[in-house]
Amino acid sequence: MSNSSLSCMRKISPMQGGRKSHAIERITPHCVVGQTSVEWLCDFFYSSGKEASCNYGIGTDGRIGTIVDEIDHSWCTSNWDNDDRAITIECASDSFHPYAFNANVWKSLVNLCTDICQRNGKKKLLWLGDKSTTLAYRPKSDEMVLTAHRWFDNKSCPGDFTYSRLGQLAKEVNQKLSGVPAGPFKPYQGQVNADDGLNCRTSPINGNVIKTYPDGTVVIISKEDGNWGFTGEGWVCLDYINKIASAKDPATKEEEIMDGKQFNKFFNEMRQQWRDNDASAYSEEARKWAVDSGLIKGSTSGEFNGMWEDLMTREQLVTVLYRFAKMMEVI
């Protein structure tokens, strides 16, 4: 029995239950609801007087502290049975929904879970997806199981960000446990999903900002470092990149790139397509929708907003808009 050598400090909280009476077979990550330092976490659980603790705390820069020895029972998950067999880890997070962990914290969490599994003789970390399946499961002696605080108390902990990534956490940990290096990296195309744009930095996390990609920009990620991807110009946080397809697969790319942010592209393609075809017989369905929705005033002679007239005929536009609205599922 030991603690993780990844921990850079040890400050044992008095708020705990002493020796665990059950073997370690679970890991429960929690969100702190604040981007706190590891020093703050250690001090808080040592001296706040609150009847709460955890085995490890991870600060916002990714450094790890030992707060209750692994062998001992932390007061963390509002459930005696869980805390008696789990290593609990409080992780610095945003203080607002979905309580995201930054890249430093995520990387440390992966490394810490891997180290915990290795030292406790576990070859595999399992995410079984829901409470009833997990609690009914009897782990084999070389298996570790992920659990969630929200199953035991009326809390969102570990936050939707992390809860939805517990499968990813298990996958990353198991990759490391297997000792087999990840397969060769394949560049892929991704689209920026950030209303205010996405900063591109000289290096992951703290590098200088080189530029800001506008929302919707498509980039090629040619290498990754943790939760950061290289665009050819610099590094971007992959939380704000929607993966589209392998960069070598243009057909799939065309399919998947289609969302609201790509309307201009779609619009231009459709415009050309309808110019090339005779659109005079645009569909009955589209015309009816255009009249019903007030886009044109009558069945055939209604007036249109003049700004469109130099782009295409009314019929062409109605058909394009109708198709687009269908695609976006707004009608």
Query: Smallest distance from the beta carbon of 113 to Zn ion, in angstroms?
Result: 16
Q: How far is the CB of 12 from Zn ion (least distance, A)?
A: 20
- 109 near Zn ion, judged by CB under 5 A: no
Using CB under 5 A as the binding rule, whether residue 201 contacts Zn ion is answered as: no
Q: What is the DSSP letter of 208?
A: P
Q: Is 149 in the site for Zn ion (CB under 5 A)?
A: yes
Separation of alpha carbons 109 and 112, rounded Å: 5
CA angle (189 as vertex; 191, 170 as ends), nearest 5: 90
**Toward Zn ion, which CB reaches closer, 60 or 199?**
60
3-state secondary structure at position 64: strand
Site string for Zn ion, 9-38 (x = CB under 5 A): ---------------------x--------
89 binds Zn ion per the rule CB under 5 A: no
Q: Contact region for Zn ion (CB under 5 A) — 16-24, 141-149, 255-263, 292-300?
A: 141-149
Alpha carbon separation from 181 to 109, 172, 173, 177, 246 (Å, rounded): 19, 11, 12, 10, 20
CB of 53 or CB of 104, closer to Zn ion: 53
Torsion sign across C-alpha atoms 172, 175, 177, 179 = negative
Q: Do the Cβ atoms of 76 and 124 come closer than 8 Å?
A: no
Q: Does 150 bind Zn ion (CB under 5 A)?
A: no
Closest CB to Zn ion among 104 and 147? 147
Cα–Cα distance for residue pair 303/74, rounded to 1 Å: 72
Q: Counting contacts by CB under 5 A, is residue 320 touching Zn ion?
A: no
Binding site for Zn ion (CB under 5 A): 30, 149, 157
